[in-house]
Chains A and B, each alone.
Chain A
Amino acid sequence: MNLTFAQIALAALPFLPLAGFAVNGLWGRRFKETTIGIVGCGSILLSFLLSVFLFMANLSGSFATVQVRLFDWIPVANGSIGFSLMADPLSLIMLLVITGVGLLIHLYSVGYMHGDAGFARFFAYLNLFIFFMLLLVLADNFLLLFAGWEGVGLCSFLLIGFWFTNESYNAAAKKAFVMNRIGDLGFLLGMFLIVFTYGSLNFDQVFTAAATAGGANNATIIAITLLLFWGACGKSAQIPLYTWLPDAMAGPTPVSALIHAATMVTAGIYLVARCHVLFSLAPFTLSVVLAVGVATALLAATIALFQTDIKKVLAYSTVSQLGYMFAALGTGAYVAGLFHVVTHAFFKALLFLGAGAVIHALHHEQDLRNMGGLRTELPFVYRIFLVGTLAISGIPVFSGFFSKDEILMNVFQHHTVAWGLLFIGALLTTFYMFRLLALAFWGEKRGHHANYVPMNTTMKLPLAVLAFLSFAGGFAGLPEFTGLNWLHHYLSPVFSDVTLHNEPHLSIGVELGLMAFTVLAIAGVIWFYASRFKHLQTRELNQLNGELPWYKKLPANKYYVDEWYNRLLVQPINRLSDFLYRVADTLIIDGLVNRIGGMVLSAGNRARKLQSGDIGIYLYVMLAGASGLFLLYVLLGS
């Protein structure tokens, strides 16, 4: 087998982090922190360099896609599912984000986790996570993708419950895993239906077969896409499976940045984009995706308005932004959705790491009510946090502006109501982010913190890089009318079949008008909040300490969704479990068996004088009787 250099690079890519995991996992406890950090970050750095190499090679046209089959995994239907990797422009974009942002967050973690007893374990888990994430985006078939998919969920479980002596963190970790499993069952059933229908799980074969079969909106393709989307809802925290993500904030903050903002939670978007051939054949499913995305975007944004934990605000913000991405996918604008994946990875990682910097400086304080006035105390953090806030709010030329604008434009073309809701959502986003900024950094100091823990360079450098990317990252996808949308151009080979379905573009005038309208509205929100934040803050803080009016109490308590899930699902199942054990199993089934057995034994007791009561004797008598019967049969039969 002659392997090209690109194939070797591809094969090595995921296994470098796996090696890092093995080294730190096996011997990490004997290493110094520096060594652990070098192993942990070094393996990701190498993966990043390989990703850049593959990306450049792809740009220069030396290959369109590169594929390498490591070994046969299992036979399914008439073919064999390979342990095989594949990189096309879609995978390459994901690769760059995963290894690039991943590297920065690894670097940051060296400083953030300094002194933690589980330092080596932390880096081992992080590397393992990157391995599974790379497997997910490089898999060339559904089954291997599923392995990565479950793998990232596993690492998420391990890292949410990283501080495992805390019972409530463990509960959050378990909740995340089980909820993901609920989604995964859909994924699994979707895979079964795919093999059943197309006789394969390899992307190439399935998509070709589906495209040839055609027939938009037939029941099978709708079922397949709905099942896959159900899986995506679990992983990417969409209604109704989103409640695990806010709880997942129990994990160390770099984990929230890497797994629960930048990479893992976007796996659902990747899955839909990867299966765009199938989804484009199921307009019905796409409208479901749009509806769920819009609903999640709005619902989570309203909850974010009232959270007082700095990480919880960002968590609900992530849920909401993921909703935007799904809304884009729902209109068939796959590239727009992916564009937002990329910019969101930049600015949300920045915001989480910024929040981490605040938490770090304030000795693990996360409550916004005890912050305030940090602008002068932590000027560097303030500045990068401001960049992140402007980016997520969609202020022009910051990255979020371009990606959100593209989503809004696409949705506007398809569905004006959905656009209106997302527009309101964008205003809410700006509002809760500036509220967060103001509560933490503006106004008077409310906490009693002194001696802020200083940040070292390994923490500052990633923040600076991410701030730059959050600012400039949007230039990869300039609006369509400029003719300079690089990302669109780059990804066009992957989505070549989709552009055909796109309706004619808006005229430049309408597009510019919408853009200006949105920006003005957002600017209005900022002006409104900034000009009277003191008054708003005082009122809110008073309310938070006292009784909230009902219309605020509802979102502040997350619409009691967790409580309802508990009451309608968890508790009944536990009660059922108790009932089945105590009544069905012990009383009825076992009781019946004992009753029957007892009857036989008491009948036997009357003849007991013949026997010694030794069970061994019973056995031999039984066997002898059986043999006797047998002989009788033989004699009579022959």
Chain B
Amino acid sequence: MIVTILIVLPLLFGLAAIFSNGRSVRNAALAVSLAEFCLALYAAYSFVPQAGMQQVLNLPWIPALGIHYHVGVDGIGLLLILLTALLMPFILYSTPDDIPKPGAYYGLMLVMQAALIGVFSALDGFLFYVFWEMALIPIWFLCLLWGRGNTVAVTLKFFIYTLFGSLLMLVALIYLYLQTPQPHSFSLEVLYAVSNLDANVQGWLFWAFFLAFAIKIPIFPFHSWQPDTYVTAPTQGTMLLSGIMLKMGIYGAMRWLIPVLPMGVHNWMPVAVALSVAGAVYASVIALQQNDLKRMLAYSSMAHVGIIGAGLFSLTANGLTGVVFQMLAHGINTVALFYVADIIERRNNTRNLNLLGGIALADPRFSVLVFVCVLGAVAFPLTNGFIGEFYLLYGLFEYNLPMCIAGGLTVILGAAYMLQFFQKTMFGNAISTPHKPVYAGKSELYVLVPLTAIILLTGIYPKPLLNLAAPAIEQLLQLAQF
């Protein structure tokens, strides 16, 4: 029941807000997102890791077609719901007060949250697809209407590209649906039980799913929508995209691809791992020479996600543990870093790293908080990034040594470009601005302090989160056998 509330509450408020107007909508949206967070915490608190799917609700939706409103969570889904519910208040709060059309903006944000939680809890293939597409529409409007620069062209590409992927997934889902015994069903368990597919068919279906997820994540070479979109989208849109939305692809693969098509995955995993690792190294190398702060962060995010993808398709217990943990870590770190980029850009009217500098002189407190985010991003021990990276690379190590070494290179390259970013913005002498702007005022601190605290705390004591996910990962690995 609680999962359904988590979906319905922001959906109703969101739809209502779209048609409302006025300043109070910001506070209402914040209140809803905080309520969501409390509910998600309660769900986590009452969750029993060993007990499999929980908070299940299964209602017939279109009985004639065997489509159900069927939701529930296991450890993996729960952690992603927690991540969504945790990040949403920060994303909303970090929105500038003078945003135009606040009603539509906050409404779309809440609808987005509903869709995301729906994706992370749907246990019916059709429902999953509906939420998946439902998440695309608000983010597209957000990027189109509140973005800057050449938004029409960039968002069109983003939209068509990801839609192309999801239609492939739809076709694959329908094909699977038709293979289920009569009466047909989209239910997850029924799909898991479909076993009469030969390797060839599994291979084609694998690619249909994989493309949908690979475009969303994005995995090389299906990433080219991403840097432009991250740069032109409003910062909060970029936070949503990189912090939460790309996890839809990873989660989708964990829930709908690996257990459903074990043979197809098994046959194609070397390709998937190789593409992921290649993309991670490729993006890291590109990030080294990026002078546009946001574009640099976009490539950095792609590098991290590449390693997550590699850990995912290496199909080892350690790799998957890393995937789950790093999804959380990457979500928090990347949201914090894009927010930092936004703060810096607002104060200086530029994101060009070569024109920035001396921020540590102007606001030392801000530079310390940014430094913690950087540490998380470079997988420094005692931050969340290290835990994820350690498991991911160890999983890769178990899978294939050269892939692990190549993936390990991103740890070195990551240190190089992230420290370069930190030094170019924070260190050196202040440029141009005669006054010392405050970078971390009260409202910025309300966002950055909790996020940096989480970066450190979950790096020092990750055990509760790991415990939540462990049984679900074990189960996933069992399903991946054939």
Contact = CB atoms under 8 A, between A and B. Distances in A.
Interface of A: 25, 29, 71-76, 83, 121, 143, 146-147, 150-151, 154, 157, 161, 164-165, 167, 170, 173-174, 177-178, 181-182, 184-185, 188-189, 192-193, 195-196, 573-574, 576-578, 580-581, 584-585, 589-590, 593-594, 597, 600, 615, 619, 622-623, 626, 629-630, 633-634, 637-638
Nearest to B387: A74
Top 4 A-B residue pairs of the complex, sorted by shortest distance between their CB atoms: A147-B381, A590-B224, A164-B427, A577-B289
B159 A192 contact: no
B156 interface: yes
Contact of A74 (B178, B419, B463): B463
A165 B419 CA distance: 15
Most chain A beta-carbon neighbours within 10 Å: one of B167, B394, B426, B466:
B394
B393 A192 contact: yes
Contact of B286 (A29, A151, A581): A581
Contacts of B221: 589
A161 B221 CA distance: 38
A337 to B, nearest CB: 26
Nearest to A117: B361
30 contacts: A71-B461, A71-B463, A73-B461, A73-B462, A73-B463, A74-B387, A157-B419, A164-B360, A164-B427, A165-B429, A170-B428, A181-B411, A184-B411, A189-B405, A192-B394, A192-B404, A193-B397, A573-B285, A573-B288, A574-B288, A577-B285, A581-B289, A581-B290, A585-B286, A593-B161, A593-B225, A597-B157, A615-B156, A622-B167, A634-B174
Nearest to B394: A192
Contacts of B381: 143, 146-147, 150-151
A577 B286 contact: yes
Given A71-B463, A147-B382, 8 more contacts: A72-B463, A76-B394, A164-B428, A177-B419, A192-B397, A577-B288, A578-B289, A626-B170
A165 B360 CA distance: 9
Contacts of A72: 463
A165 B361 contact: yes
Given A71-B461, A597-B157, A188 B408 contact: yes
Given A573-B288, A597-B160, A623-B133, A165 B358 contact: yes
Given A74-B462, A151-B382, A185-B409, A630 B174 contact: yes
Interface string B166-183: 010011001000100010
A268 B160 CA distance: 54
Contact of A170 (B160, B361, B386, B427): B427
B163 interface: yes
B35 interface: no
A573 B284 CA distance: 11
Contact of B411 (A185, A578, A622): A185
Nearest to A637: B178
A557 to B, nearest CB: 25
User: Mostly helix, strand, loop or mixed at chain A's interface?
Assistant: helix
A581 B292 CA distance: 13
Contacts of B157: 593-594, 597
A622 B163 contact: yes
Interface in B167-221: 167, 170-171, 174, 178, 182, 184, 221
A275 B136 CA distance: 53
B284 to A, nearest CB: 9
Nearest to B281: A580
A174 B224 contact: no
B343 interface: no
A195 B182 CA distance: 48
B184 A580 contact: no
B415 A181 contact: yes
A456 to B, nearest CB: 28
Nearest to B224: A590
B282 interface: yes
B452 to A, nearest CB: 14
A585 B423 CA distance: 26
A174 B412 contact: no
Nearest to A118: B364
A634 B186 CA distance: 12
Most chain B beta-carbon neighbours within 10 Å: one of A154, A188, A633:
A188
Interface string B117-160: 00000000000000001000100000000000000000011011
A229 B409 CA distance: 18
B69 interface: no
Nearest to B220: A589
A154 B137 CA distance: 43
A74 B466 contact: yes
Interface string B363-399: 0100010000001000011100011001001100110
B346 to A, nearest CB: 23
Contacts of B287: 577
A590 B227 CA distance: 11
Contacts of B99: none
B420 interface: yes
A329 B386 CA distance: 31
B438 interface: no
Interface string B62-75: 00010000000000
A150 B288 contact: no
B160 A574 contact: no
Interface in B409-426: 409, 411-412, 415-416, 419-420, 423, 426
B427 A165 contact: yes
B412 A185 contact: yes
B289 A637 contact: no
B300 to A, nearest CB: 13
A29 B65 CA distance: 68
A576 B419 CA distance: 20
B420 A195 contact: no
Contacts of B65: 634
Contact of A75 (B174, B178, B288, B466): B466
A634 B174 CA distance: 8
A150 B156 CA distance: 44
A566 B100 CA distance: 50
Nearest to B153: A594
Contacts of A580: 282, 285-286
Contacts of A154: 375, 380
A157 to B, nearest CB: 7
Contacts of A182: 412
Nearest to A192: B397
Nearest to A145: B381
A76 B316 CA distance: 13
A637 B184 contact: yes
A74 B389 CA distance: 13
Contact of A185 (B171, B227, B358, B408): B408
A408 to B, nearest CB: 37
Contacts of A177: 415, 419
Contacts of B393: 188, 192
Nearest to B423: A170
Contacts of B375: 154
Contacts of A170: 423, 427-428
Contacts of A584: 282
A615 to B, nearest CB: 6
Contacts of A71: 461, 463
A14 to B, nearest CB: 12
A554 B178 CA distance: 76
Contacts of A581: 286, 289-290
Contacts of B358: 165
A577 B225 CA distance: 19
Contacts of A173: 423
Nearest to B417: A577
A619 B163 contact: yes
A174 B397 contact: no
A29 to B, nearest CB: 8
Nearest to B380: A150
Contacts of A600: 160
Interface string B234-263: 000000000000000000000000000000
Given A146-B381, A165-B361, A577-B288, A178 B408 contact: no
